[in-house]
Amino acid sequence: MPPRHRLSIAVCLLLLAACAGTPQRGAPRAGAAPGKPDDAAAALYARLDRDSKRYLDGLAAARAGDTARAQSEMKAALDDLRAAATACAGLPQCDSQRFITGFDGLLRQGIGDRADQEAQAEPPPGEAAEAGEGSPVVAALPELGRSVTLLKGRELGEILALNGPVKAALETWLTQYRPNLMDAYENYQYMRHLMWPEYEKAGLPEALLFGMLAKESGGKVHAVSRSGASGPLQFMYATGLRFGLGTVDGFDQRFDPKLAARANAAYVNEQLAIFNNNLELVLGAYNGGEGAMQRRAGRGEGALSFWDPQVYFGVSQETREYVPMVLAAAWLFLHPERYNLEFPRIAERPGRITLKQPASIAELTVCLGQAGGARDGWFRTLRNLNPQLDPQRQEPAGAALAVPEVLEKAYQRDCVAGRWQQLAAELHAAVVPAPPPVALARPAEIKPKAPKTRTYVVRRGDTLASIARRSGCATVRDIAAMNGLRAPHYAIKPGQTLKLPGC
């Protein structure tokens, strides 16, 4: 590849890293296109298309030997792309991901051609090398910038070309887990305004956030694993505390999508520093524990690759499956069109409603029905956006609930009064009969008297699931019922005395 091409690729990488690390969005910056916000974003997308074509024309001229024209066209295209990407970062309606994907496409045009690869030679002193593990361009990116190139540049492309586990994970997502992937994408889109800014501020790529969310919980905020990992990104209680996720007013903050994304980004940052920006080792540590991963792979520059047999076959089967599944989901998030995959289009703009009369999330779900084209209704989305609320408990009139913007008018139309509001209230007021008293039960229905109850004092790091396992005969629901703990949080705190059923 001629030196000029190498320099252009280096510029693309730097632009990509800058786009991934843009500051918080606010008022449009200088250089943003004029007019209405949506029109301004469309104008920027058109510039992206024009500049991409101009860059490719310059690359074709370079391959034909017309160096002067190639230099002029490629430089002009990249200069304008940089300006357009900067303007997009300051425009709330503009999707910076489109620019990152555009840079990715241009980068691949520069390094994917066989003729280019055969023409490569050692670059002159001071010239940028090709993107890769030893590239000074990649090394010079801001902290964690290499994780962006890992997901969007040549490294992940090589993994997909050479690595069986990731290719097998792609097939899994595209076959039996395809419905899970689509549900995760839809759930994420409604929470994107809460989660993505936390990753963006940390300099991490959005695709990584989606990959972890898809594998951990499928975007279900109230997910709880058998081991007690909780929330959309499945934090264990002790790890959550370490990254600022505590219990406030009885609410476990692991279930808050915004705070969980912030804690997850902090964890990834910390572990990337420990494992010398090796993303696969970080993912393995997130799933199987950082201590175990350090013992297997080491740390710093001397750390082994996750794919080294000593590491790969030394971790659990769960971790061997987890890492490629996250990478594959991230890759599909970036390039669905390459795999005959089409994600649903979601109007993810956030909104808010103020209750005109008392209502629960369950009642709102009934009266909203499938408004806005929601095939599965709105129960999951309303719970995800209001994780601190019990879905069966009525909230008072005047309470504010976060909802997708598309539901603001639907609430006023169907949930304030009328047949659907009345139906929702009627169903919610239904009473399930309680079992009859023992005195009225038939002899065959009278069960032996239960053993006497025991007590247990909660220790730091305990979860209801771990206490139930240690008890030997109780379930989480048994203990929750005896102590008046509400699902799904089952909030407990150190020093609290719990009643346990006798065995």
Does residue 378 surpass a pLDDT of 50? yes
Q: What pLDDT was estimated at residue 148?
A: 38
Mean pLDDT (whole number) for 215-222:
95
Cα gap 400→95, rounded to integer Å: 28
Q: Beta-strand (E) ranges in 17-108? A: none
Query: Contact, 284 vs 293, CB < 8 A?
Result: yes
Average of per-residue pLDDT across 321-335: 92
Q: Look-up: residue for tokens 């024009």?
A: 50
Which token pair is 276? 């010398």
pLDDT digits (tens, 9 = 90+) for 403-422: 999 999 999 999 999 999 99
Looking at the predicted structure, is the pLDDT value of residue 156 above 80?
no
Measure the N-to-C terminal CA separation of the chain; round to a whole number of Å. Answer: 74
Q: What is the rounded average pLDDT for all residues in the chain?
A: 78
Mean pLDDT of 441-469: 73
- Is pLDDT above 90 for 368? yes
Give the SS3 label for residue 125. coil
Letter string b/e over residues 461-474, b meaning 16 or more CB atoms within 10 A of that residue's CB: ebbbbebbeebeeb
Question: Is residue 281 within 8 Å of residue 275, measured between CB atoms?
Answer: yes
Q: In the CATH scheme, what architecture does the domain 161-339 have?
A: Orthogonal Bundle (1.10)
Q: How far apart are CA 263 and CA 202, in angstroms?
A: 10
Q: Which fold has domain 449-500?
A: Membrane-bound Lytic Murein Transglycosylase D; Chain A (3.10.350)
Q: Which of 276, 248, 275, 253 is nearest to 264 (CA)?
A: 253
Point out which residues pair with 248 in neighbouring strands: 251
333 compared with 104, residue with greater pLDDT = 333
| Whole-number pLDDT of residue 385 | 95
The mean pLDDT of 323-333, rounded to a whole number, is: 92
Q: With contact defined as beta carbons under 8 Å apart, do 110 and 1 qualify? A: yes
d(CA 290, CA 293): 5
pLDDT tens digit sequence for 458-498: 888 788 888 888 777 778 888 888 888 877 777 888 888 88
- Across 150-154, 245-249, 346-350, least confident range: 150-154
**pLDDT score, position 159:** 47
Residues near 119 by beta carbon (within 8 Å), at least 6 away in sequence: 1, 2
CA dist 312 → 36, 228, 253, 324, 474 (Å): 52, 25, 33, 11, 37
Distance CA 162, CA 214 (A): 24
Gap between the Cα atoms of 270 and 277, Å rounded = 10
The pLDDT tens digits for 85-126 are 778 877 777 776 677 666 655 654 543 333 333 322 333 333
Stretch among 146-150, 390-394, 403-407 having the lowest mean pLDDT: 146-150
Residues with Cβ within 8 Å of 317's Cβ and at least 6 positions away in sequence, in order, are none
Element at 170 (helix H, strand E): helix 164-174
417 secondary structure, DSSP code: S
Average pLDDT over residues 369-390: 92
H or E element in which residue 162 lies? helix 154-162
Distance of CA 34 to the CA centre of its chain: 33
The encoded tokens of residue 253 equal 């903050």
Q: Calculate mean pLDDT across residues 335-346.
A: 91
User: What backbone torsions phi and psi does residue 456 show, to the nearest 5 degrees?
Assistant: -145, 135
CA gap 152, 148 in Å, rounded? 6
Determine the average pLDDT of the residues in 437-461.
69
Q: Span 294-306, mean pLDDT?
A: 89
> Residue 181's pLDDT is what?
97
User: In Å, what is the CA distance from 291 to each residue of 227, 287, 299, 420?
Assistant: 18, 11, 10, 54
Q: Residues of the chain with pLDDT > 90: what percent?
A: 42
What's the chain's Rg over C-alpha atoms?
A: 27
Residue 267 has pLDDT above 90, yes or no: yes
